[in-house]
Structure 1
Amino acid sequence: MPVTFSDIITACNSEENFLQIFQNAFSQVDQPLLQEHRIILTACYRNPGLSLTLKGETPEFLAQSWLQKYCYSFENRISRRISQPPRTVADPIVDTIIKARLTGLTEKHLEQIKYAHRLSMSAENIQGLLLEEFLAEQLADYGWYCCWGEVIRHVDFCHIDGSLLQVKNRSNSENSSSSRVRINQPIEKWHRVDAKTGLYKWSYFNTKYNTNRFSEENFILFVQKVLLANPSALALEANNPWQSLSQSSD
């Protein structure tokens, strides 16, 4: 019968025994149990409701699946990944609607609007990943570890003191519901910008850690650095008419 996280937690009579299972499993694939693994797994043990719904034939297989999920996400973080363009086909009726309202638009205009919209959607798709990696770099100095690969439910960062943090780009982003799960540690929730006022919330971290390193300006610099070093982070369709602007500026 497949083993779950809950099964392992229930079978272990201590936190150290739980971590030892993962350490033994990791050693089988020549991977040490790093500090970040220990912090995140400890949070899972202390808050069983946050554990993934992974299953494995044995505790070792489950532990290795967890590790694979974490490592894959870290190794393919947005600064290194090649993003894929939209796989859906645009609905022509959208052009008809726009043309009916703005009758002076030409077919070329409509084509540009369509692809600008598709490009914007691609940018929105990586926005959260950019914020995640920026915060991973900045928060590391304050004892926070990024939960790459969503290896713990409802949580984006775990702290060495056991604190849990969930981050969102905007206040109107859909929040993961953690109220229905069994947890012993409240989850701090932070969003980058208030969707109603447009005000940024970086002061939350600056005040907490007596610094000024968390700012929209620094986030913008990070985004520009990532896209300059890895243009493929933002998928660009081959027939996108805006592509020539990028080529002419290279």
Structure 2
Amino acid sequence: MISAIEALGTDEVCKRVAALACQLKIAKDLHIDYVCRACCDTPQIAPDLNKGKTRNLLTPEQCLIVWVERFLHGYQSRITCSKSKLPNTVPDEAVGIIIEARASNLSKEEVNQIIFGHRLAMSAENILGLLLEEFLFEKLSSVGWAMAWGETIRAVDFCNKDGKLLQIKNRSNSENSSSSKIRDGKPIEKWFRVNAATGRYEWDKLATKIGCRVAGLDEASFQAFIKRTLQSNPNALAIEPDNPWLKA
């Protein structure tokens, strides 16, 4: 995307993205135009689709096609519509031995339940951020914020028509080094749902950052959204067939 902006300029990039979005029937209320404009206004947050390549570099036009397709794929594979992948690792037998050695009153069956309970919890944590993103998409779209589906903006989740940028995290300790770096000196707001040190929910601070209060933008509504999503799409949470908690 960066190379396309440099080669074609903002107006031409926005024009071509709009045409591609129309061809792919991307709904106007997803506001890919906001996302495109944000990348053009601050090119350093636009993804470099040729990064690491030494040959077969994408042309500016190809970059735009890939970028728009990435946006569409991100939307179409959102957590309410997708099936999560099963864990691709097997439990380490030594973990059970450690638990048995320290808690000798536990039976092997109970130890096995603990191990698989942990794996199930990890799978739930893996989709928690996706659930939060889609919940916010549903709530913030009505007040002029667009989701940067498919990581179409680096380390930014939402933007609005005025070019404001917002990065969201589930917990205050979940930010990675790359997202910290990209925000250094950039006007990107950051919000996290839970203060990891205190357990406090920070929904009130989100209202301040987006500049308005939105009905249902609170923890109770988010948890209700989680329940509705898993009821309508159980496959959003991957559970191994041999997990004893599935049979409980």
- In structure 1, give the amino acid aligned to 2:15: Q
CA distance in 2 between partners of 1:236 and 1:178 (Å): 30
User: 2:219 matched to 1:223?
Assistant: no
SS at match of 1:188: strand
User: 2:34 matched to 1:39?
Assistant: yes
Matching residue of 1:248:
none
Unmatched 5+ stretches in structure 1 = 246-250
2:113–2:245: 8 Å Cα contact kept in structure 1?
yes
Cα shift at 1:21: 2.8
Cα shift at 1:66: 1.1
> Which segments of structure 1 move beyond 3 Å, counting only runs of 4 or more?
23-27, 29-35, 175-185, 205-208
Pair 176,135 (structure 1): closer, same or farther in 2 beyond 3 Å: farther
Can you list the C-alpha shifts for 1:136-166, whole angstroms capped at 9, x where unaligned? 0001111111111111101000111110000
- In structure 2, give the amino acid aligned to 1:60: E
Matching residue of 2:198:
197
Matching residue of 2:152:
151
Matching residue of 1:7:
3
Cα shift at 1:244: 1.9
TM-score, reference length from structure 2? 0.89
Unmatched 5+ stretches in structure 2 = 51-56
SS at match of 1:209: coil
Matching residue of 2:242:
239
CA distance in 2 between partners of 1:183 and 1:37 (Å): 25
CA distance in 1 between partners of 2:144 and 2:177 (Å): 23
Cα shift at 1:79: 0.6
Pair 17,182 (structure 1): closer, same or farther in 2 beyond 3 Å: farther
Pair 182,125 (structure 1): closer, same or farther in 2 beyond 3 Å: closer
TM-score, reference length from structure 1? 0.88
Aligned residues: percent identity? 41
Pair 91,64 (structure 1): closer, same or farther in 2 beyond 3 Å: same
More deviation in 113-122 or 236-245? 236-245
CA distance in 2 between partners of 1:101 and 1:32 (Å): 56
CA distance in 2 between partners of 1:181 and 1:222 (Å): 31
